[in-house]
Amino acid sequence: MSETAQLTSIKDLPSPKGKFILGNLPEFKTENKHLVLEKWAKECGELYKISLAGKIFVVSTKPDLNAEILKLRPKEFRRFGKIDEIFTELGITGVFNAEGERWQRHRKITSEALNAQNVKSFYPTILEKTEILLSKFSTLASANQKVAIQSEMMAYTVDITTKIAFGYQMNSIENIADNFQEHLERIFPMINQRITAPLPLWRVIKSKESKELDKSLSEIKKLIYTFIDEAKDRLAQSDELKANPSNFLEAILVESEKENFSKEEIYGNVFTMLLAGEDTTSNSISWAIYYLAQHPEIVKRIREEANEVYHDELPQDYSHFAKLKLANAVAQEAIRIKPTTPQLYMQANEDVIVGNLSIPKDTIVVLQSKFAQNSDEYFTDALTFNPDRWMRGKCPVDHKHSPKVVKAFGGGPRYCPGMNLAMHEMTVLISSLCKRFDFELAVKAEDVKDKFAFTMHPDNLWVKFKIA
């Protein structure tokens, strides 16, 4: 049989049973699309197709095929075109939604702005916001009050991200009202709604929500433009600041001098930093706390590690970070079991063959990573929270452990440039929380549910802290 004859075409792929005309759309319209895709994978296998009102999508839970598609970006594949369409419509052009040569320009400056040296310079900000959060939790623990973890983690990461992004000092952790935060809270859900909307009704009818979105975007843009001008003035007056930028905006302005970036492009990348920094990191920390609250023995071990590494309440010295092996392993395990981005949507730029699958131009392929990350085929007792699987010398040689299957930060040339910063935030907070507190769920574990908006987060996660 010839190589061509061995190819699989999309029409030959299995498909879950759907409705007349609408196909699989009625079931897929649910909030938690990732759970529906996992359910269909159990029914149809690791590679299948779905029909959404006549539009065919390929869904892959195959790690090898997914990794290959990610490697083929940005030439053969790009993000689902609607993402760039919506972002561009809102005046946002950054590394997240840029494609082709445009992406390569943006990627270069954002990668440099988030390099290891700059992340080290951001470390004091992480410590500062961590101390504020720990102080608040101590007060709540003394009052025996339960904590809404998801909202608290969002406040924590928003405060870190706005300070790191452009030096803006927010204090949403302590519930100090801020219009900037209100605007962010309005923008991100609306972006998700538009990306997933079957029809762009906002272009025809200006609803109250759309008008509020336009106002918030205008206010955010005006403020960030002011920050850009102020940062340029600071950099012009200090060679020391150019060599050691104090925030992402300053770092990106230093890099942009080599590439001649416009103010609009700088704005787009700062906005992208806000989007990525608030949502994904806060969700991952929340899931880590969810599991730790059910494993006091792991909390105790992290506390022992912390006491060995640093004597203060926080890991004050940057050199401490690399020694927090177990805290880092907890972060990785939470990311594996509960990835904040359980699937990625890719679109073929041209006819392409991946593995033995023939993919025509413009086909949308849904890369579902969570299914494999939670499979015993790749991780022994995959649904069991076990940070030791990430510890050198702790994971038994006869256990399955496939780190390359985990795609929480993407893969290929377009892996997330903020990965290093996110792992610093998660590791520092996990270690510091466990050093100061014992904690337990204030609700039944089964009552905490996945909820998918722009990313996946735990819904109804309440925890009680007790000072250790």
Q: Is the pLDDT of residue 179 over 90?
A: no
pLDDT at residue 428 in the model: 97
Q: Is the pLDDT of residue 45 over 90?
A: yes
Can you give the three-state secondary structure of the chain, one letter per residue?
CCCCCCCEEHHHCCCCCCECCCECHHHHCCCCHHHHHHHHHHHHCCEEEEEECCEEEEEECCHHHHHHHHHCCCCCEEECHHHHHHHHHCCCCCCCCCCHHHHHHHHHHHHHHCCHHHHHHHHHHHHHHHHHHHHHHHHHHHCCCEEEHHHHHHHHHHHHHHHHHHCCCCCCCCCCCCHHHHHHHHHHHHHHHHHHCCCCHHHCCCCHHHHHHHHHHHHHHHHHHHHHHHHHHHHHCCHHHHHCCCCHHHHHHHHHHHHCCCHHHHHHHHHHHHHHHHHHHHHHHHHHHHHHCCCHHHHHHHHHHHHHHCCCCCCCCHHHHHHCHHHHHHHHHHHHHCCCCCEEEEEECCCEEECCEEECCCCEEEEECHHHHCCCCCECCCCCCCHHHHCCCCCCCCCCECHHHCCCCCCHHHCCCCHHHHHHHHHHHHHHHHHHEEEEECCCHHHCEEEECCCEEEECCEEEEEEC
Rounded average pLDDT over 131-151: 95
pLDDT at residue 394 in the model: 65
- At residue 199 the predicted structure's pLDDT band, cuts being 50, 70 and 90, is confident
Question: What CATH code would you report for 61-467?
Answer: 1.10.630.10
Q: Is the pLDDT of residue 2 over 50?
A: no
CA–CA separation, 408 vs 416, rounded Å? 9
Q: Is the pLDDT of residue 193 over 90?
A: no
Q: Is the pLDDT of residue 185 over 70?
A: yes
- At residue 177 the predicted structure's pLDDT band, cuts being 50, 70 and 90, is low
Express each pLDDT in 208-226 by its tens digit. 999 999 999 998 899 889 9
- At residue 273 the predicted structure's pLDDT band, cuts being 50, 70 and 90, is confident
Express each pLDDT in 249-271 by its tens digit. 888 888 887 777 888 888 988 88
- The per-residue pLDDT of the chain, averaged, comes to 89
Other C-beta atoms closer than 10 Å to the C-beta of 369 total 26
Express each pLDDT in 448-457 by its tens digit. 999 887 788 8
More confident residue, 73 or 351: 351
Q: Is the pLDDT of residue 19 over 80?
A: yes
CA–CA separation, 90 vs 84, rounded Å? 10
More confident residue, 117 or 338: 338
pLDDT at residue 265 in the model: 86
Cα-Cα-Cα-Cα dihedral sign, residues 169, 287, 336, 70: negative
CA-closest candidate to residue 74, choices 108, 58, 98: 98
Structure tokens belonging to residue 120:
């080290």
CA 322 to chain CA mean position, Å: 22
More confident residue, 438 or 83: 438
Please state, for a pLDDT cut of 70, what percent of the chain lies above it.
Answer: 97
pLDDT at residue 396 in the model: 63
Express each pLDDT in 299-317 by its tens digit. 999 999 999 999 999 999 9
Rounded average pLDDT over 401-410: 87
The count of C-alpha atoms lying within 13 angstroms of the C-alpha of 256, restricted to the half-sphere facing its C-beta, is 24
Q: Is the pLDDT of residue 1 over 50?
A: no
pLDDT at residue 398 in the model: 60
Find which of 126-130, 202-206, 216-220, 248-252 is predicted with most confidence, using mean pLDDT.
126-130
Q: Which range (70-74, 297-301, 374-378, 459-463) has the least confidence? A: 70-74
Other C-beta atoms closer than 10 Å to the C-beta of 3 total 8
Q: Is the pLDDT of residue 79 over 80?
A: yes
Q: Is the pLDDT of residue 108 over 80?
A: no
More confident residue, 182 or 234: 234
More confident residue, 396 or 334: 334
pLDDT at residue 294 in the model: 97
- At residue 460 the predicted structure's pLDDT band, cuts being 50, 70 and 90, is very high
Q: Angle between the 149-166 and 248-259 helix axes, to the nearest 10 degrees?
A: 40
